[in-house]
A and B are shown apart, each in its own frame.
Chain A
Amino acid sequence: MARAVTTQRKALNTAIAWSIGLLIFFPILWTILTSFKTEAEAIANPPVFLFFDWTLENYAVVQERSNYMRFLTNSVILAGVSTILGILIAVPAAWSMAFVPSKRTKDILLWMLSTKMLPAVGVLYPIYLLCIQLGVLDNRLALIVILMLINLPIIVWMLYTYFREIPGEILEAARMDGASLKDEILYVLTPMAIPGIASTLLLNFILAWNEAFWTLNLTSVNAAPLTAFIASYSSPEGLFFAKLSAASTMAIAPILIMGWFSQKQLVRGLTFGAVK
Chain B
Amino acid sequence: MATQHSRSAARIMMAPAVFLLLVWMLVPLCMTLWFSVRSYLPLRGGDQGFVGLENFSRFITSSAFWPAVQTTLIIVGGVLVISIVLGVLLAILLDQPMWGQGVVRILVIAPFFVMPTVTALVWKNMFMDPTNGMFAHLWRFFGADPVVWLTDASVLSIIVIVSWQWLPFATLILLTAIQSLDSEQLEAAEMDGANPVARFFFIALPHLSRAITIVILIQTIFVLAVFAEIFVTTGGAFGTRTLTYLIYQRVLESQNVGLGSAGGVYAIILANIVAIFLMRIVGKNLDN
- Which A residues lie at the B interface, using CB under 8 A? 1-3, 5, 9-10, 13-14, 16-18, 20-22, 24-25, 27-28, 30-31, 34, 42-43, 45-47, 89-90, 92-93, 95-97, 99-100, 102, 106, 108-110, 112-115, 117-130, 149, 152-153, 156, 168, 172, 181, 206, 209-210, 212-213, 216-217, 226-228, 230-231, 233-234, 236, 240-241, 244-245, 248, 251-252, 255-256, 258-260, 263, 266-267, 270-276
Contact = CB atoms under 8 A, between A and B. Distances in A.
29 contacts: A1-B179, A3-B97, A13-B93, A14-B99, A24-B111, A24-B168, A27-B127, A28-B114, A42-B132, A47-B134, A89-B16, A92-B13, A92-B16, A97-B14, A100-B2, A100-B10, A102-B10, A124-B251, A126-B28, A152-B17, A172-B1, A213-B225, A213-B227, A216-B228, A227-B228, A234-B231, A236-B125, A251-B115, A276-B180
Contacts of B210: 274-275
Given A149-B21, A274-B285, A96 B247 contact: no
A118 B27 CA distance: 13
Given A3-B187, A96-B11, A259 B109 contact: yes
Interface of B: 1-2, 6-7, 9-11, 13-14, 16-18, 20-21, 24-25, 27-29, 31-32, 35, 90, 93-101, 103-119, 121-127, 132, 134, 137, 140-141, 164, 167-169, 172-173, 176-177, 179-180, 183, 187, 210-211, 214, 218, 221, 224-225, 227-228, 231-233, 244, 247-248, 251-252, 257, 260-261, 264-265, 267-268, 270-272, 274-275, 278-279, 281-283, 285-287
A259 B110 CA distance: 7
Given A47-B137, A244-B125, A271-B214, A1 B113 contact: no
B266 to A, nearest CB: 8
A121 B252 CA distance: 10
A31 B95 CA distance: 29
Contact of A28 (B98, B110, B274): B110
Contact of A100 (B7, B109, B122, B123): B7
Contact of B141 (A42, A46, A113): A46
Given A96-B9, A127-B28, A270-B169, A3 B183 contact: yes
Contacts of B17: 89-90, 92-93, 112, 152, 156
A248 B2 CA distance: 52
A234 B10 CA distance: 49
Nearest to A125: B251
Nearest to A123: B28
Given A125-B252, A210-B116, 15 more contacts: A24-B164, A27-B123, A93-B16, A100-B7, A102-B10, A109-B286, A118-B271, A121-B244, A124-B247, A130-B28, A168-B1, A212-B115, A213-B228, A240-B125, A256-B110
Given A121-B267, A124-B251, A21 B122 contact: no
Contacts, number: 314
Majority secondary structure of chain B interface residues (helix, strand, loop or mixed): helix
A206 to B, nearest CB: 6
A31 B214 CA distance: 32
A216 to B, nearest CB: 6
B115 A126 contact: no
A273 B140 contact: no
A59 B36 CA distance: 47
Given A18-B104, A46-B137, A46-B141, A121 B247 contact: yes
B21 A216 contact: no
Nearest to A124: B251
Contacts of B283: 106, 110
Given A231-B231, A248-B122, A274-B214, A256 B286 contact: no
Contact of B112 (A21, A100, A114, A259): A259
Given A217-B252, A233-B121, A270-B169, A24 B107 contact: yes
Contacts of A17: 93-94, 96, 98, 101, 104
Contacts of B176: 267, 275-276
A43 B18 CA distance: 53
A118 B268 contact: yes
Nearest to B95: A1
Nearest to A15: B98
